[in-house]
Structure 1
Amino acid sequence: MLKSRVLSYLVARYGRMRRAMTLGVRVAAFDAEGRVLLVRHGYAPGWHLPGGAVDPGESAHEAAIRELVEETGVVAGDDVVLHGLHFNPGFGGRDHVATFVTRAVRIGPEPPPNREIAERRWCRVDDLPEDVTPATRRRLLEIVGAGAGAGRW
């Protein structure tokens, strides 16, 4: 926990010094039963949507597809759409998160557990784990039409 806080602080501090905006992606991937895929990171508490940073030279759309496969082994279909772009004030004051949705997924072999992703789980949106992050819960409720949209992560 302390290690993740220190790392988050250092990344945010570096971003502020560079005055750079950062962009990350998250993917709400739904299976044929309407369940959404969540991940538990090895370095941060709670359940999250799969995702990560957009690499230089990569579009947010490309990053979403790549991160989904890397973290979960799930391959997005041709229906990947942008749900929203949200400001993340808790990560250096310049971070934004693009959330994508896909419902036509192909489930490939699950990557072995590693330091980044400790666990993966398919969940119904109306039965999310207690420790799902507040931002993840908000995005999922927006996506299924049970919550109002917000501009902040």
Structure 2
Amino acid sequence: MTTTSDPDEQPGTLMTDEDYGALRASASLWAGTSVLITDQRGQVLVEHVDYLNTCLLPGGAVDKGESPSHAAGRELQEELGITATVDRGLAVDWISADSSSAPPAMRFPGEILYVYDGGTWNDHQIAAIRLPEHEIKAIEFVEPARLPDLMSPRDARRALSALRARINAGGAVILEHGLPIAPTVLDSTGVLRTVRTQHHYAFRPGPVPDGLTVRQSWGWLFAPDGRVLVLLEPDTGAACLPGGTPEPRDHDDPVATLVREAAEEATAQFGEPLFLGHLTDHTEPYARVRYAAALTTIGAMRTDPATSRTYTRALATPEQVLELFDWGSSAADQLAAVHQAREHLGLPRAAPRPFTELTDPTTW
């Protein structure tokens, strides 16, 4: 017996058209679609529905003869009252027949579910949402780490995988039961599985005022291609820039703090740093300073003596790095200062591309 995967190609001579059609129909799956939407803080839109005790992304079943992307746009209109073109895929998820809790009477055959990128919505777009009278009780923008608490386990895995794929900028990913078959560094470290700390501090480009103690010194450290070094914690998946808290041996020198911390955390060395500015919180008498510099070397990986962690080191654009933090509206001001420093250093503006893990020593 000979078969083919192309419906326009004739099956083998030992199989009739009717038999071949029946064989393919026996392997048929449902098709569904969902749309990942975030707000400007990187929180994910979820729907509270009246027929489940868990939340969902916007979306639903693909109708007969309908394309998945058309179905995604239709569901946005029906569920949120929003007309939008949905044309960027983030993930395709395969769900087996035996993995669902669907009632036996449904005869669930398994499903292929397409996840599309609904983009980042501003306050005006969010205010335009209009919910239907039935089915959608409410919508909420939630921290990515809360998705497992609000959604079914598989739906949460799928949403987080799709969000990581969007941040990683490597194109759509193939999932099985919500998990990528080819995990990226963001997947393997579990980025966004823990709640991002809110640091909604005002960014000020000027020097630290007298009387304010420097509590933290972090650096935007550039590779020659315009990307920056970001560190991912192995036990939490949390992201941080190289840097840390001043110690007495730094002698009240924030640059000395940055040099020491970058060496301890990432075995990284860099050239002359440029001062970007500082962050302040009106409730605390402290300042958090930020620098930019060009990386010169990355040494062999080793454990940070202060935390006993071995960080995962990766390069990404400054914009991609910001998506791993919850820094509020002041993040845009800091990002502008970062790019001014990058231009001063004579480095290009990097286009989005997949995060690159740094495992071997490198010299630039």
User: For the structure 1 residues 95 and 145, does the alpha-carbon distance in structure 2 shift closer, same or farther, using more than 3 Å as the test?
Assistant: closer
More RCO (CA 8 Å, sep 6+): 1
* Aligned match of 1:145: 164
> Structure 2 residue aligned with 1:132, among 139, 144, 151?
151
Asked whether the equivalents of residues 48 and 136 of structure 2 are also in contact (C-alpha less than 8 Å), the reply is yes
* Aligned match of 1:93: 109
- For 1:55 and 1:108, how far apart are their aligned partners in 2? 29
The secondary structure found in structure 1 opposite 2:39 is coil
TM-score calculated relative to the size of structure 2: 0.33
Q: Look up the equivalent residue of 2:70 and give its one-letter code.
A: E
Cα deviation 1:104-124 (Å, max 9, x = unaligned): 444463334533111211112
The secondary structure found in structure 2 opposite 1:144 is helix
CA positional deviation for 1:78: 5.9
Q: Please, which runs of 5 or more residues in structure 2 have no aligned partner?
A: 1-24, 103-107, 166-172, 179-364
* Aligned match of 2:53: 45
* Aligned match of 2:75: 67
> Structure 2 residue aligned with 1:36, among 20, 23, 44?
44
> Structure 2 residue aligned with 1:54, among 56, 62, 72?
62
Asked whether the equivalents of residues 83 and 101 of structure 1 are also in contact (C-alpha less than 8 Å), the reply is no
* Aligned match of 2:129: 110
Asked whether the equivalents of residues 36 and 163 of structure 2 are also in contact (C-alpha less than 8 Å), the reply is no
User: For the structure 1 residues 141 and 94, does the alpha-carbon distance in structure 2 shift closer, same or farther, using more than 3 Å as the test?
Assistant: closer
Asked whether the equivalents of residues 89 and 114 of structure 2 are also in contact (C-alpha less than 8 Å), the reply is no
Q: Look up the equivalent residue of 1:42 and give its one-letter code.
A: D
- For 1:152 and 1:143, how far apart are their aligned partners in 2? 12
Residues matched between the structures, number:
135
CA positional deviation for 1:81: 1.8
CA RMSD of aligned residues (A): 2.9
The secondary structure found in structure 2 opposite 1:130 is helix
- For 1:32 and 1:44, how far apart are their aligned partners in 2? 28
User: For the structure 1 residues 145 and 100, does the alpha-carbon distance in structure 2 shift closer, same or farther, using more than 3 Å as the test?
Assistant: same
Q: Please, which runs of 5 or more residues in structure 1 have no aligned partner?
A: 1-17
- For 2:120 and 2:70, how far apart are their aligned partners in 1? 16
Q: Look up the equivalent residue of 2:51 and give its one-letter code.
A: Y
Cα deviation 1:28-47 (Å, max 9, x = unaligned): 11223222110111111111
TM-score calculated relative to the size of structure 1: 0.70
Asked whether the equivalents of residues 92 and 175 of structure 2 are also in contact (C-alpha less than 8 Å), the reply is no
- For 1:126 and 1:46, how far apart are their aligned partners in 2? 15
Higher mean displacement: 113-122 or 80-89: 80-89
> Structure 2 residue aligned with 1:119, among 138, 142, 145?
138
Structure 2 residue 52 is matched with structure 1 residue 27 = no
- For 2:38 and 2:29, how far apart are their aligned partners in 1? 29
CA positional deviation for 1:21: 2.8
- For 2:86 and 2:49, how far apart are their aligned partners in 1? 27
Which one has a bigger Cα radius of gyration? Answer: 2
CA positional deviation for 1:70: 1.5
Cα deviation 1:63-111 (Å, max 9, x = unaligned): 1111122112344456532412322532512332222222144446333
- For 2:126 and 2:65, how far apart are their aligned partners in 1? 27
